[in-house]
Amino acid sequence: MTPLRFSPDIESRDTDEQETIDGIIQGMTGQSQTVEKREGHAVRASHAKSSACAVGELVVAPNLPPELAQGLFAASGRFPVAVRFAQGPGETLGDRVSTHRGLSIKVFGVEGEKLAGHTADTQDFVLATGTTFPSGTAKGFLRDGTVIGSSAGLPEGVKSAVASTMRNFNRVLHAFGTESPKADFFGHPFSHPLSEPYFSQAPLRYGAFVAKLGAFPAGEAQRALKDWRLDPHQDEDGFRHATVAFFRDHDVVFELRAQLWTNAETQPIEDASVDWPVEESPYVTVATIRLTAQDAYSPARQRFFDEEMTFRPAHSLAAHQPLGSVMRARLQVYRALSNFRHRENAIPERNPASVDAIPA
């Protein structure tokens, strides 16, 4: 199908959208305060517990067709990247609790018009497991966020039981040919973080067009991890230990793929809970991310990634402007929660302009 073109009027804002975003910031800040009191340190409000902190290269595929040769991907080239793998919750839970995961990518040396307020030559892509965002809209997240965030004060054993229930629920649904994004959000399989794909979940501008993005594991050794499962009773930090051990001996490769917007009826911009049918628009490779074997969790690097460096959808080219209700909220929410975290920890935030700033 022919891709649909971007124009500013494809977005539709609620009249009370700013009030909704303010409510999300207030609610998530409160959750972060609860976690800070328990852990004695302010952590990210989502994806707090890192599994690996790596550097490498993004290589844009040559000879892309015009509809895919857009924005960052307009011409073949190589860009340094920093990549952070993390568990989903906004607290450093032991790995008896397995939830959705995150993959944050910072691309360096990116020239072109940026979103307002972004001055560095960087482009961030913030991805997560699951093709959709369960709440769908900012208003939905404000409603569901109370439920999601209310677990911050619960004992870890209760969270583990909830996660187990959700995993079993999703297995039953899967047997009937479907699944629940919310069940996966709370009860993700104990799979290897390097063995599964990650998605933007919500759309973004793709130059003259619109797309969702996905990062798919492409290394042969990663594919061999398909059936790997963590024994949660053996290691409280098993996901990190497995990921860092893999990085010591293997290159890690992901294909970055774009799913172009081709049907406004079946591929809504404003509701991120709707999966865009791949039968209408498949994910097509536009670049490869290669992270060579390395120490992906040295103390200096872990501190830099977890305490100093920020990843935000707002760190973007205008050509990759985040779109839709959830993304518009993220533009403000990420900044507010990062400001809270760095202020509480008395550690200045950094959006480095070069990969050379990242410790070995």
DSSP string, 235-274: -TTHHHHHHHHHHHHS-EEEEEEEEE---TTTS-SS-TTS
Predicted TM-score (pTM) of this structure: 0.90
Q: How far apart are CA 326 and CA 313, in angstroms?
A: 11
| CATH placement of domain 8-347 | 2.40.180.10
pLDDT of residue 296: 98
Displacement of CA 323 from its chain's centroid (Å): 15
pLDDT of residue 92: 85
Q: How far apart are CA 65 and CA 214, in angstroms?
A: 18
Q: How far apart are CA 263 and CA 58, in angstroms?
A: 29
Q: Which two tokens stand for residue 233?
A: 């009773």
Q: What angle do CA 89, 46, 42 make, to 5 degrees?
A: 100
The amino acid present at 130, given as its one-letter code, is G
pLDDT of residue 184: 56
Rg (CA), the chain: 19
Are 20 and 139 in contact by the 8 Å Cβ rule? The answer is yes
SS3 content of the chain, % helix, strand, coil (to 5): 35, 20, 45
Q: Which two tokens stand for residue 255?
A: 């294909």
Are 54 and 294 in contact by the 8 Å Cβ rule? The answer is yes
Backbone torsions φ then ψ of 348, nearest 5 degrees = -60, 140
Q: Which two tokens stand for residue 1?
A: 């199908």
pLDDT in tens, the chain (360 residues): 899 999 999 999 999 999 999 999 999 999 999 999 999 999 999 999 999 999 999 999 999 999 999 999 999 999 999 999 999 888 888 777 778 999 999 999 999 999 999 999 999 999 999 999 999 999 999 998 654 444 454 444 433 333 343 333 344 333 444 454 544 555 689 999 999 999 999 999 999 999 999 999 999 999 999 999 999 888 989 999 999 999 999 999 999 999 999 999 999 999 999 999 999 999 999 999 999 999 999 999 999 999 999 999 999 999 999 999 999 999 999 999 999 999 999 999 999 999 999 999
Place of tokens 């053996």: 234
